[in-house]
Amino acid sequence: MERTLITGGAGFLGSHFCDYLIEKGHEVICIDNLSTGNMENISHLLGKKQFSFIQYDVTNYLHVDGELHNILHFASPASPIDYLRMPIQTLKVGSLGTHKALGLALSKKARFLLASTSECYGDPLVHPQTEDYWGNVNPVGPRGVYDEAKRFAESMTMAYHRYHGVETRIVRIFNTYGPRMRLEDGRALPAFMGQALRGEDLTVFGDGTQTRSFCYVDDLVEGICRLLSSGEVYPVNLGNPDEITLLELAHRILGLTGSRSRIVYRSLPEDDPKVRRPDIGKAKRLLGWEPQVSLDEGLQRVLPYFRKKVQ
């Protein structure tokens, strides 16, 4: 039985990995300080012999008794509302938290996977984004606390691989959605869902022509687990390359929910990316992976979850 530590394991993505790995027969240790994670996401796992939860801040000294085979480092605020509210904590978990998790991986001789982000590309000047693009990030802008924390985390991960020989993986995650997202986390898809289901105006920032590419969570989990089992140490994009404008997304959600809500426009936030679409050629070649769930199918799957959340 493999023993896997997941930092940020009570969050949206981390909790789905807890489920997936337990189903695969792993023993899973979930660590989360619950600053953005939620016990509801893992409540169904409490009491299982294969699962344990530790409420802890991974920017502090990090130790786990016994052997570890894998460390998945997902701990970090990941939505604009969260990292703008907690800028210093975001920088600390990307730097100190990554350092502590890598140190644990070194001491346990464990495989380490960093959950990085498409935000490493900033407001990109290359489209679609390939892994060899270095990005267009404003380090002193409000979003820089997240972007630069993840870029530093990637550098730290590669340093531990090169200097200490730690077996490392880096996944750059593009927009992902599914059950357990928070309605109030500030991202477009849950925001539109919540507003439509409550009969409120849908808030589109800018003119709505900025684009995103949305990957269903089940597809992402499968891709990351394939990456974990691969031999690739350099970053790999995972996301859905089907690109859509935010205005079109708003209209799709209105149609899906049957809502009569209006669309209203607000000023575009500073440094908000105008385009976002992954080039997943590397993932196709190395992992034999590409998304299987279309946006329309994924929205149908997640709609009951959001309906329940607004009740």
Domain range list for the chain = 3-176+215-238, 178-212+242-274+293-310
192: which residues sit within 8 A by CB, 6+ positions away? 202, 249, 250, 253
Query: Is the pLDDT reported for residue 197 higher than 90?
Result: yes
DSSP H helices in the chain: 12-23, 80-85, 87-92, 98-108, 144-164, 188-198, 217-229, 246-257, 281-287, 295-310
pLDDT at position 155 over 90:
yes
Q: What is the mean pLDDT of residues 27-40?
A: 97
Q: Which CATH architecture has domain 3-176+215-238?
A: 3-Layer(aba) Sandwich (3.40)
pLDDT value of position 307: 97
The confidence band for 185, taking pLDDT boundaries of 50, 70 and 90, is: confident
For residue 241, pLDDT over 90 is answered with yes
Report, as an integer, the average pLDDT of 140-159: 97
**Class of the CATH domain delimited by 178-212+242-274+293-310:** alpha beta
User: What is the reported pLDDT for 272?
Assistant: 83
pLDDT the model gives residue 311: 82
Q: Is 265 a catalytic residue?
A: no
Mean pLDDT of the chain: 96
* Reported confidence tier of residue 269, pLDDT bands at 50, 70, 90: confident
Same fold across 3-176+215-238 and 178-212+242-274+293-310: no
Average pLDDT over residues 58-75: 97
What's the rounded Cα separation, in Å, for the pair 13 and 173?
A: 10
Check whether 186 has a pLDDT greater than 90.
Answer: no
Number of Cα atoms under 13 Å in the Cβ half of residue 17: 30
Give the per-residue pLDDT at 135: 96
- Catalytically annotated residue among 20, 56, 133, 146: 146
By CB atoms closer than 10 A (0-12, 13-18, 19+), residue 25 is exposed
Q: How far is CA 66 from CA 1, 3, 5, 14, 174, in A?
A: 13, 9, 11, 22, 34
pTM of this structure: 0.96
- Mapping DSSP to helix (H, G, I), strand (E, B) and coil, where does residue 99 land? helix
